[in-house]
Amino acid sequence: MCGGVLTGLSGVISSPGYPQEYSNNADCSWAIHVSNTSVVTLVFLDFQLENNEGCNFDFVALFDGPTVTHRHLGKYCGADKPPNIVTTSNHLLVIFKSDFNIGGRGFKAYYYSAECQQVLSAVSGNFSSPHFPNIYPNNINCHWSITLAAGYRIKLYFPVMDLEDRNSLSDKCDYDSVAVYDGDSQTDTLLGRWCGREQPPFLVSKGNKLLVVLSTDRNVAHRGFTASYLGVVPVNVSCTRSEFTILIPQQSLPQLDRESIYLGDPTCAAQLTATSYKILAQFVNCGTAGQQYRNITVLVNKLYIDFSDGKQQNVQEYRVQCDALRKIASVSIISAEERRLEEQTQQTDSNSNDNVGGPEAVPHDLSDIVFISICVLAVILMVIAIVWLVLL
């Protein structure tokens, strides 16, 4: 298709015949118009046009508005992909022209509006598919980019996932899908792609960036998804046979007081060193407790980092543990979903313990039954002996 008016939350445009060579003497224009409160982002996935200095033969030209009289954003040719383009208004005009000879593979690009893109930089947050819990639009390609301070990692989970099911022939998410990339680009490592009502596992990035992409086709739509993420603070934990040492770089938590970081309870708050928040805690203090894990006793506590700002409570919990015998320590963040599951498990265990020994409990001590059985057997043997003596 050579040009048109595009008004969706997102969409794809490409040169005529892509990925085959485009035709000569092409003159195409795409007028992208999104809602009044949005801007437009254009991302080129592939780009190969005839190359020449000044881009006077075959080129793509971009304008920050509905006509060529608006601000010129750039003119591109050759094989180098143009940079990502973001407008200042809710209009973008894309023009593609070719001359009478020498062509190329052409280009493919997608656009999305602010309703279909979000850059998240808070230490924790939530987001969802457009219009959730109502059905999401067809033919969209939406991006959520999570970028935190250097040193952080990101833990992501999806409480709700309700998309179109897998392709029954290929058993792949060929129609609608959510993909997560370990970075800020779709060229970064793919952590997974899901559809239907599949429940993704908890995902943890290797660095401080994650990209979530929702892609839908032209038919069949469901409710979509909800997602929550936590910024994992770079916490270093070590232990001896008697104490924990916890270090957190100050630059990771520049806005916090030391009292906002504590082990077990607020009386075990961090101390400030030249570069770090530091907690040095004996195992007998701060609520550290022993737990049996795979026949090994480990010492366990919780580290709290309080990001609350007076308007909203936001306290992160980290499980810290130490195998004191081997002097091996570890730390892991506990998400709200994991906390809920942990509380459910504790409640189930509590209910089970309450039922033990009750009126309907199954007896585990069989000594009375064994004693009665022995008595009955003795009586039977005595009767047999008496009968035998009488017969003699």
In this model, does residue 366 exceed pLDDT 50? Answer: no
Q: What is the pLDDT of residue 312?
A: 82
If one counts every other C-beta atom within 10 angstroms of the C-beta of residue 13, the result is 22
Stated as kind and residue range, the H or E segment containing 299 is strand 296-306
In this model, does residue 104 exceed pLDDT 70? Answer: yes
Separation CA 71–CA 99 (nearest Å):
24
User: CATH number of the domain at 4-113, please?
Assistant: 2.60.120.290
Site of tokens 């607020």:
266
Domain residue ranges in the chain: 4-113, 121-232, 236-335
Domain 121-232 and domain 236-335, same fold? Reply is no
Per residue in 46-80, pLDDT (tens digit) is 999 999 999 999 999 999 999 999 999 999 999 99
CA torsion sign, 295 to 296 to 299 to 301? negative
Separation CA 123–CA 46 (nearest Å):
34
Per residue in 253-275, pLDDT (tens digit) is 988 999 999 999 999 999 999 99
Per residue in 117-128, pLDDT (tens digit) is 888 999 999 999
- Burial (CB count within 10 angstroms: exposed 0-12, middle 13-18, buried 19+), residue 155: buried
Q: What is the pLDDT of residue 371?
A: 45
Among 216-220, 300-304, 338-342, which range has the highest average pLDDT? 300-304
In this model, does residue 345 exceed pLDDT 60? Answer: no
Q: Across the chain, what does the average pLDDT equal?
A: 88
CA dihedral (350, 356, 358, 362) in degrees, to 10, reads: 140
Q: What is the pLDDT of residue 346?
A: 56
Separation CA 249–CA 305 (nearest Å):
13
Separation CA 123–CA 279 (nearest Å):
22
CA dihedral (98, 100, 105, 110) in degrees, to 10, reads: 20
CATH class of the 121-232 domain in this structure: mainly beta
Per residue in 187-213, pLDDT (tens digit) is 999 999 999 999 999 999 999 999 999
In this model, does residue 365 exceed pLDDT 50? Answer: no
CA dihedral (67, 70, 75, 80) in degrees, to 10, reads: -90
Q: What is the pLDDT of residue 347?
A: 61
Question: What does the buried/exposed string (b/e) look like for 229-255 if buried means 16 or more CB atoms within 10 Å of the residue's CB?
Answer: bbbbbbbebebeeebbebbbbeebbee
Please report which residue ranges of the chain form alpha helices under DSSP H: 336-355, 367-391
- Asked if 182 contacts 155 with a C-beta cutoff of 8 angstroms, the reply is no
Cα-to-chain-centroid distance, residue 188: 15
Q: What is the pLDDT of residue 339?
A: 64
In this model, does residue 183 exceed pLDDT 90? Answer: yes
Pick the range with the lowest mean pLDDT from 138-147, 175-184, 239-248, 342-351. Answer: 342-351
Encoded tokens for 343:
């509380």
Question: What does the buried/exposed string (b/e) look like for 300-328 if buried means 16 or more CB atoms within 10 Å of the residue's CB?
Answer: ebbbbbbbeeeeeeeebbbebbbebeeee
Q: What is the pLDDT of residue 343?
A: 60
**In the sheet that 59-63 helps form, which strands lie side by side, from edge to edge?**
4-6, 27-33, 91-97, 59-63, 72-76
The topology (CATH level 3) of 236-335 is: Immunoglobulin-like (2.60.40)
- Asked if 263 contacts 303 with a C-beta cutoff of 8 angstroms, the reply is yes
Q: What is the pLDDT of residue 309?
A: 82
Question: What does the buried/exposed string (b/e) look like for 344-371 if buried means 16 or more CB atoms within 10 Å of the residue's CB?
Answer: eeeeeeeeeeeeeeeeeeeeeeeeeeee
Extended strands (E) in 98-208: 106-113, 117-120, 124-128, 141-147, 153-162, 177-181, 190-194, 203-204
In this model, does residue 357 exceed pLDDT 80? Answer: no
